Amino acid sequence: MYVTLRDRPGGTSGRKRPGGPLRRVSGTVVLLGTVSLLTDVSSEMVASVLPLYLTAVVGLSPVAYGFLDGVYQGASALVRIAGGYAGDRGQRPKWVAAIGYGVSALSRLAMLPAAGFAAITAVVTADRLGKGLRTAPRDALIAAASRPELLGRAFGVHRALDTLGAAAGPLVAFALLASLPGSYDSVFVVSFAFAVAGVAVLVLLVPDLPSVPGAVRAGVRRAVAQVAGTRLRRPLLAATLLGLVTVGDGFLYLALQDRDDFAARWFPLLYVGTNVAYLVLAVPLGRLADRVGRGRVLVAGHLALLGGYLLAALPGGGVGLTVAVLLLLGAFYAATDGVLAALVSRLVPADSRGSGIAAAQTAVVLARFASSVLFGLAWHVQGPRPALLLFAVLLAGAVPVAAWLLRGVDRPAVAAGDEGVAA
């Protein structure tokens, strides 16, 4: 049984959605999950064939591809904050998200004539910018459409649908290539169709925030005040600290393939394994977060990551260990990605929600970027195993600090009747 009382941090309640208590997860969340599913089918179709396309068809060398992948990762962090703030500012997060999805969709079509390195870089960058732009306003919509005590579950459902799309994309792409050898254009066109379907579902079916008569538009100052305010300070610090000791999964896969033949042979499948674990665990861990506290689950997720480091650093290899590392990685993502958004969205008032979520996600992205550089250096100097052990020690030190920073975070001051849920 769960409590029907609404708790709106900052006291901006006043919106009631009909049928709330009867739905465990709102239709909007499922629709947004569907949008993400379709979009991820689209983007993973392209992402999975891109290495082959670039090296086998366009004829780029490995060096150039590595450069491209860097562009991929870097581009989205910048626009994330802008997207979150723009969604809050106009009180129209849906349309900011729609622009983000639309830009990514158009970038698929631009793959058709793009032949040179520069053109493909531009297209890939546009795709990533779109992704950066849409994430925070979309998460703000999920938060707005969900009852606070069920936020973890709502984000879990969304992330599970999202990951399902990510898993299906490569299958669609390879099925196409298998029946139409060498026709990468078909992959791009079908990918575009999926993206268009996603944008259409978003634009036509997903409701935007209902306008609040007389509501003051959130200015920069208010957004900054909220984001830098006392409520978010500790979670942001904790997220940054944990991000600084989080090694990118690419490095973990490399460490795995470095030590055992199984991982090397099935290298392209390692991330699929992680995704499957993430997919299966996203909803259960989201629900768990609603029950025992999001801060706790977030911290526990990092313990799973710690386990992953240690197993990946073991000298011997083997199928069992590799699969265990993938499971732990999947559990880590399931316990952190949506859970962080759920946690943050309850700590800021609704009119700054996008900015708050964007701030947390950007902190994580930037911290992980820094950690990747540091880990790369450590790997450089000492090799994979000592580098992993070093980061395991750092992570083991960071987890108690983060737990301390996040203590009590699941009981915001305004909580009315929330205690019954948390117990």
Partner 1 sequence: MTGRVGGLGPRARLGVLAVVLLVATVGAGGFVWRVHREQAAVRTSATGAPTRRNLAGVRDVPHLVFRNTALGTDYGRVALVPLSAPDGPRAVTPASCERVHATRDEALCLASDRGLVTTYRAQVLDAEWAPRRDLPLVGTPSRARLSRDGSLAATTTFVFGDSYANPGQFSTRTTVSRVDGEVVGDLEQFTLVVGGKVVTAVDRNLWGVTFADDDRFYATAASGGRTWLVEGSLTTRRLTALREDAECPSLSPDGTRIAFKKHGDLPPGRWRLAVYDLATGAETLLAETRSVDDQAEWLDDGHVVYGLPRSEEGTATSDIWMTNADGSGAPTLLVPDAWSPSVVFPGGR
Distance CA(282)–CA(332), nearest Å, equals 10
Distance of CA 254 to the CA centre of its chain: 21
Question: Residue 379 Cβ, how far from partner 1 at the closest point, in Å?
Answer: 5
Which listed residue (2, 4, 11, 70) binds partner 1 by CB under 8 A? Answer: 70
Nearest to 299 by CA among 340, 342, 356: 340
- Minimum CB distance to partner 1, residue 347 (Å): 27
Residue 12: CB minimum distance to partner 1, A: 18
Residue 242 contacts partner 1 per CB under 8 A: no
* Minimum separation from the CB atom of position 82 to partner 1 (A): 20
CA atoms in the 13 A half-sphere facing the CB of 44: 22
Contact by Cβ (8 Å): 123, 110: yes
CB 252 within 8 A of CB 325: yes
- Binding string, residues 94-133; x marks residues near partner 1 by CB under 8 A: ------------------xx-xxxx--x------------
Quote the CA–CA distance of 295 and 299 in Å, as a whole number: 6
By beta-carbon proximity to partner 1, the closer residue of 113 and 315 is 113
Choose which of 57, 212, 319, 416 interacts with partner 1 (CB under 8 A).
57
Residues from 377 through 406 that contact partner 1 (CB under 8 A)? 379-381, 383-384
179 scored as a contact of partner 1 (CB under 8 A): yes
Residue 200 in the binding site for partner 1 (CB under 8 A): yes
- Side-chain half-sphere of 368: how many Cα atoms within 13 Å? 16
| Separation CA 351–CA 91 (nearest Å) | 7
Q: Segment 331-360, which members bind partner 1 (CB under 8 A)? A: none
DSSP states along 354-375: HHHHHHHHHHHHHHHHHHHHHH
Residue 76 or 345: the one with the smaller Cβ distance to partner 1 is 76
Does the protein bind partner 1 through residue 171 (CB under 8 A)? yes
Report the nearest approach of partner 1 to the CB of residue 398 (Å): 19
Residues 139-168 that bind partner 1 (CB under 8 A): none
CA–CA gap between residue 289 and residue 283 (Å, rounded):
10
Closest CA to 295 of 237, 247, 372, 252: 237
Q: Which is nearer to partner 1, 12 or 186 (CB)?
A: 186
Distance CA 104, CA 126 (A): 7
19 lies in the site for partner 1, by CB under 8 A? yes
What is the smallest separation between the CB atom of 397 and partner 1, expressed in angstroms?
22
